[in-house]
């Protein structure tokens, strides 16, 4: 996961950069960084944010960094932004995306004469450094950015800061967003559209698929026109996006209300209360409650004062334990109640099974589960936003493997079809394994309807396996 923010201002930009970057903390848990350019040249700061929030780690840097142009990022993997010296001059770069063919690209660059890459811990090459190396193969920055977008298998959205301004480039299929904001004397580029609103910026434009612009304090100039093709990640609305953001003009919060609304229209159960798993399930649950007339309730509260999202270890068993520890029950709202619980999705099922057991232990009579998206059948191949490292992490795949001697695309397509016997068998098995009273997923057609833009512009690969 990851997010970025960039500012080009006629005055010092560090205040806006600090808070604009901090507003992306929900997208990453491991590294944060800021780089600026001013009278003293380039300056940069990178910190580990695994055990402390971005704002705490960087508050001292706000008083020392000086510059009128800056980029910042939150990253779940590599330290960035990087400062690179090349035949293009010196520039800073930060990226959001996924490179599936990194080994092939590294070998290609070695053959073209690049002497080395720096290894990160674990022996991996920093993907942002690899992107810079690809860009540096070409004579001009914009030509290099286009080249990187063409040859990377996966996705790549980036910001490049030079002494003259910031180059912002959206992935060629528009899988991740870039929103441009404007205020007097400054322009900014942001992954999340809400991140600049409290800083006084107004929305200027969203970049289209593959569009490349250069941002200066005076304006925004398009250097490469956008494509009409788009495959933006639908999971941004369902889960990853912050509630106050919007993508392609579609509000995240309103989309989630519509998800809950359509879930309720197809449902027959009559529980006492409707609840959402905090935080992303809450809006879906409100939409369901509004449509069904069943009261919305908060039977457990997420404890956040000393448990920021950034405190999340990489070991899955520890992640599951911490997720459970964050939820504090309100026993008076649980005891003797039939409950309908909405979560954004079911991946492994571990956390939701423990949440369900925790509700039964607190006195719940029934726990009906309604995920706000269809069953996840495929690991994401386009973004690092996937919540699974292997398809066998997915509870759907484990159930299918138990039931099938051979798994083909045709078989998986039946499991993705909500009208098929295989689909209903899978739901029964998952419900039994996770101890749900009942289970009904959001349908893919309803989820697409909840977004409200053309289906051909949405990536739905993790649910139906359909590629570009």
Helices then strands, each counted (H, E), the chain: 15, 23
208 by DSSP, 3-state: which? coil
- How many whole angstroms separate alpha carbon 431 and alpha carbon 439? 6
- The H or E element spanning position 235 is helix 235-235
459 is in an annotated binding site: yes
Task: Name the H helices within 61-165.
Answer: 102-111, 127-135, 141-151
Residue 259 counted as an annotated binding residue: no
Q: Is 73 annotated as a binding residue?
A: no
Among 196, 244, 280, CA closest to 21: 196
Between CA 431 and CA 365 the distance in angstroms is 16
Q: Token pair of 344, please? A: 């954004």
Residue 277 in tokens: 């798993």
User: Is 13 marked as a binding-site residue?
Assistant: no
Give the separation between CA 211 and CA 263, rounded to whole angstroms: 36
405 known ligand binder: no
The structure tokens 């593959």 sit at 210
Tokens of 131: 């992107």
Neighbouring-strand partners of residue 43: 36
Beta-carbon neighbour count of residue 85 at 10 Å? Answer: 10
- Tokens 């949440």 correspond to 355
Cβ contact 82:126 at 8 Å: yes
The reply to whether 462 sits in an annotated binding site is yes
Task: Tokens for 97, please give them.
Answer: 């995306």
Cβ neighbours around 198 below 10 Å, total:
11
Residue 409 dihedral angles phi and psi, to the nearest 5°: -60, -35
The H or E element spanning position 282 is helix 280-292
DSSP, residue by residue, 368-414 = EE--SSPPP-S--SS-TT-S-SSGGGSHHHHHHHHH-SS--HHHHHH
Structure tokens at 394: 């997915």
Cα separation, 72 vs 70, whole angstroms: 7
Is residue 326 exposed (0-12), middle (13-18) or buried (19+ Cβ within 10 Å)?
middle
Please tell me whether 380 is known to bind a ligand: yes
* CA–CA separation, 56 and 156 (whole Å): 29
Q: Residue positions in the annotated binding site for Mg(2+)?
A: 280, 343-344
Q: Residue positions in the annotated binding site?
A: 233, 280, 343-344, 380, 459, 462
Q: Residue positions in the annotated binding site for [4Fe-4S] cluster?
A: 233, 380, 459, 462
């Amino acid at each position: 996961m990851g997010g970025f923010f960039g500012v080009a201002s006629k005055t010092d930009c560090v205040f806006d950069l600090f808070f604009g970057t901090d507003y992306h903390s929900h997208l990453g848990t491991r590294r944060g960084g800021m780089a600026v350019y001013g009278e003293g040249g380039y300056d940069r700061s990178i910190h580990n944010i695994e055990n402390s929030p971005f704002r705490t780690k960087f508050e001292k840097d706000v008083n020392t960094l000086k510059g009128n142009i800056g980029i910042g990022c939150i990253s779940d993997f590599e330290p960035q932004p990087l400062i690179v010296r090349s035949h293009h001059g010196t520039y800073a770069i930060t990226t959001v995306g996924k490179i599936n063919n990194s080994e092939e690209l590294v070998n290609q660059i070695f053959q073209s004469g690049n002497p080395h890459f720096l290894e990160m811990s674990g022996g991996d090459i920093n993907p942002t450094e690899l992107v810079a190396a690809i860009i540096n193969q070409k004579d001009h920055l914009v030509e290099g950015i286009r080249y990187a977008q063409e040859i990377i298998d996966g996705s790549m959205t980036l910001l490049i800061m030079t002494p003259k301004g910031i180059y912002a480039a959206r992935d060629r299929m528009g899988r991740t967003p870039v929103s441009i904001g404007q205020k007097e004397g400054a322009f900014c580029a942001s992954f999340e559209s809400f991140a600049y609103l409290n800083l006084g910026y107004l929305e200027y434009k969203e970049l289209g698929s593959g569009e490349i612009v250069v941002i200066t304090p005076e304006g925004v100039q398009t250097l490469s026109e956008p494509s009409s093709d788009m495959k933006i990640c639908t999971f941004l609305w369902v889960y990853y996006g912050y509630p106050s953001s919007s993508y392609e003009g579609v509000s995240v919060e309103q989309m989630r209300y519509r998800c809950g609304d359509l879930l309720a229209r197809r449902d027959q159960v009559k529980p006492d209360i409707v609840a959402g798993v905090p935080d992303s399930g809450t809006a879906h649950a409100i939409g369901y409650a509004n449509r069904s007339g069943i009261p919305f309730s908060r039977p457990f509260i997420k404890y956040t004062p000393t448990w920021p999202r950034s405190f999340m270890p990489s070991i899955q068993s520890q992640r599951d334990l911490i997720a459970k520890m964050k939820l504090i029950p309100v026993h008076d709202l649980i005891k003797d109640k039939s409950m309908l619980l909405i979560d954004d999705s079911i991946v492994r099922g571990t956390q939701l099974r423990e949440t369900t057991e925790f509700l039964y232990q607190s006195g719940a009579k029934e726990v009906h589960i309604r995920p706000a998206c269809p069953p996840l059948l495929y690991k994401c191949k386009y973004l690092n936003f996937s919540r699974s490292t292997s398809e066998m992490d997915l509870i759907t795949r484990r159930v299918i493997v138990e039931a099938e001697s051979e798994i083909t695309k045709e078989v998986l397509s039946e499991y993705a079809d909500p009208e098929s016997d295989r689909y209903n068998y899978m739901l029964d098995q998952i419900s039994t394994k996770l101890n749900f009273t009942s289970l009904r997923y959001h349908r893919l057609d309803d989820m697409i309807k909840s977004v409200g833009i053309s289906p051909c512009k949405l990536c739905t690969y993790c649910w139906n396996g359909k590629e570009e």
